[in-house]
């Protein structure tokens, strides 16, 4: 894609992550970046055709160079729709339509198909972050205006990055997700002790019903994973999505799941398999991603309707695994107020937006001023009604 020069720096736009070397990407993101922003993860989405222009995701990454040395990268995509973002911007698209504006394509900054907090521009540590961030924002604005793009949207942003981006004209939209925190808990008994007596009995009853159904859950990770197990996970994922019809959100291909068995991925994957005592094949599976400090719940599916099996595979077993492995937090994925009765708190997450039409910008900005306060109040109210203590001593 085209290159531009700003104050002696070279800006490059890339139609594939393959145009940026993995080595350069790693230098900028660092070893501690969460798995969803690793070069290998984003490349796997492209290689498996889960993310490509035909799916409405055109990679449009920006890199900033000083000579032959990369000093920053911004993961970006041109979107022809709003699916797979988990920040539901239908009010924005409706308003744009009423104003006679084309809402699509739009620029999106996120790890595709993953509502995972952590988006930011990745900048070399020796550079002045505020200056480089401003240069990248200006380059994005110029690109958007030159190509008739109405908006740029950074989703699930890193909280530490958010304030600096706001100072450069981004407008914040606050939404809600769920999060479990270990808070010094050492085992599942500690986890249960936080709850009031009624909910503690309920959780024990839900877990016991799985045992009474003759079902056991086995976690697998690292070298225990192979192509066959990931193919099986894909079949559960595919079947689960198909049950929701047009709302099924089946975005990932079988090739993507197969690829998770490769060494660069499998140390970050945890599969939870549910078996009946008499069966050799699992009746249900869930897939989580970890960086050995945090855990993220992603996909699940089952070929039997067993009460409470979803809670066991997607919440209780992952929490138990997290406690056994010293994991500090567990993000179970988007949606579902039922999570809040099982040890998760409501937590705000922010997206940041830039609109390149003055009327649209003024109208949405006024709306955000109201709804953000309402969302903060809602989160506070939800957390005041939780059936467990928010803070415990270790």
pLDDT digits (tens, 9 = 90+) for 63-74: 999 999 999 999
Q: Is residue 378 part of a domain?
A: no
Q: Same structural domain for residues 28 and 70?
A: yes
Our count of domains for the chain comes to 2
Q: Same structural domain for residues 165 and 186?
A: no
Average confidence (pLDDT) over 6-34: 92
pLDDT tens-digit readout, 83-108: 999 999 999 999 999 999 999 999 99
Average pLDDT, the chain: 94
Average confidence (pLDDT) over 117-143: 97
The pLDDT value recorded for residue 4 is: 52
Of the pLDDT bands very low, low, confident and very high (cuts 50, 70, 90), residue 248 is low
Q: Same structural domain for residues 36 and 136?
A: yes
The pLDDT value recorded for residue 246 is: 61
Of 169, 196, 221, which residue is a domain's last? 169
Q: Same structural domain for residues 229 and 139?
A: no
Of 346, 367, 382, which residue is a domain's last? 346
Of the pLDDT bands very low, low, confident and very high (cuts 50, 70, 90), residue 278 is confident
CATH number for the domain harbouring residue 288: 3.40.630.30
Least-confidence region, from 112-126, 241-255, 303-317: 241-255
The pLDDT value recorded for residue 392 is: 40
Q: Same structural domain for residues 159 and 18?
A: yes
The domain in which residue 28 lies consists of: 3-169
The pLDDT value recorded for residue 393 is: 38
pLDDT tens-digit readout, 140-153: 999 999 999 999 99
For the entire predicted model, the pTM comes to: 0.94
pLDDT tens-digit readout, 322-369: 999 999 999 998 777 788 899 999 999 999 999 999 999 999 999 999
User: Quick check: 78 pLDDT over 60?
Assistant: yes
Q: Same structural domain for residues 119 and 256?
A: no
Q: Same structural domain for residues 184 and 214?
A: yes
SS (H, E, C) the chain: CCEEEECCEEEEEECCHHHCCHHHHHHHHCCCCCHHHCHHHHHHHHHCCCCCHHHCEEECEEEEEECCEEEEEECCEEECCCCCCCCCCHHHHHHHHHCCCCCCCEEEECCCCCCCCCECCEECCCCCHHHHHHHHHHHHHHHHHHCCCCEEEECCECHHHHHHHHHCCCEEEEEEEEEEECCCCCCHHHHHHCECHHHHHHHHHHHHHHHHCCEEEEEEEHHHCCHHHHHHHHHHHHHHHHCCHHHCCCCCCHHHHHHCCCHHHHCCEEEEEEEECCCCCCCEEEEEEECCCEEEEEEEEECCCCCCHHHHHHHHHHHHHHHHCCCCEEECCCCCHHHHHHCCEEEEEEEEEEECCHHHHHHHHHHHHHHHHHHHHHHHHHHHCCCECCCCCC
Q: Same structural domain for residues 286 and 240?
A: yes
The pLDDT value recorded for residue 153 is: 98
Q: Same structural domain for residues 86 and 62?
A: yes
The pLDDT value recorded for residue 394 is: 34
pLDDT tens-digit readout, 5-18: 456 799 999 999 99
Q: Same structural domain for residues 52 and 163?
A: yes
User: Quick check: 2 pLDDT over 50?
Assistant: no
* pLDDT cut 70: percent of the chain above it: 96
């Amino acid at each position: 894609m085209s290159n531009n020069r700003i104050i002696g720096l070279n800006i490059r736009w890339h139609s594939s992550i393959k145009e940026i070397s993995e080595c350069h990407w790693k230098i900028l993101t660092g070893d501690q970046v969460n798995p969803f922003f690793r070069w290998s993860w984003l490349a796997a989405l492209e290689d498996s055709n889960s993310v490509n222009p035909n799916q409405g995701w055109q990679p449009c990454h920006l890199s900033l160079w000083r000579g032959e040395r990369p000093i920053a990268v911004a993961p970006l995509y041109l979107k022809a729709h709003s699916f797979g973002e988990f920040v539901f911007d239908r009010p924005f698209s409706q308003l744009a339509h009423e104003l006679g504006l084309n809402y699509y394509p739009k620029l999106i900054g996120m790890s595709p198909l993953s509502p995972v907090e952590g988006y930011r521009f990745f900048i070399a540590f020796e550079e002045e972050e505020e200056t480089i961030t401003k240069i990248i924002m200006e380059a994005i604005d110029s690109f958007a205006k030159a190509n008739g793009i109405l908006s740029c949207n950074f989703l699930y942003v890193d909280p530490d990055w958010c304030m600096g981006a706001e100072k450069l004209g981004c407008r914040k939209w606050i939404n809600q997700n769920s999060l479990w925190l270990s808070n010094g808990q050492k085992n599942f008994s500690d986890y249960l002790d936080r709850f009031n007596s009624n909910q503690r009995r309920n959780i024990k009853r839900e877990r016991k019903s799985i045992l009474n159904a003759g079902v056991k859950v086995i976690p697998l990770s690292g070298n225990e994973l192979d192509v066959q197990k990931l193919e099986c996970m894909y079949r559960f994922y595919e079947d689960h999505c198909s049950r929701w019809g047009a709302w099924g959100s089946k975005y990932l291909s079988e090739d993507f799941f197969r690829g998770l068995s490769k060494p660069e991925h499998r140390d970050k994957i945890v599969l939870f398999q549910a078996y009946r005592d008499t069966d050799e094949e699992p009746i249900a599976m869930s897939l989580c991603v970890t960086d050995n400090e945090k855990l993220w719940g992603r996909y699940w599916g089952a070929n039997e309707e067993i009460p409470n099996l979803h809670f066991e595979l997607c919440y209780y077993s992952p929490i138990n695994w997290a406690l056994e492995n010293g994991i500090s937090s567990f993000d179970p994925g988007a949606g579902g107020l039922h999570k809040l009765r099982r040890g998760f708190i409501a937590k705000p997450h922010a997206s940041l937006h830039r609109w390149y039409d003055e009327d649209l910008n003024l109208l949405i900005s006024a709306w955000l001023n109201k709804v953000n306060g309402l969302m903060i109040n809602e989160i506070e109210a939800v957390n005041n009604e939780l059936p467990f203590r928010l803070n415990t001593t270790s």
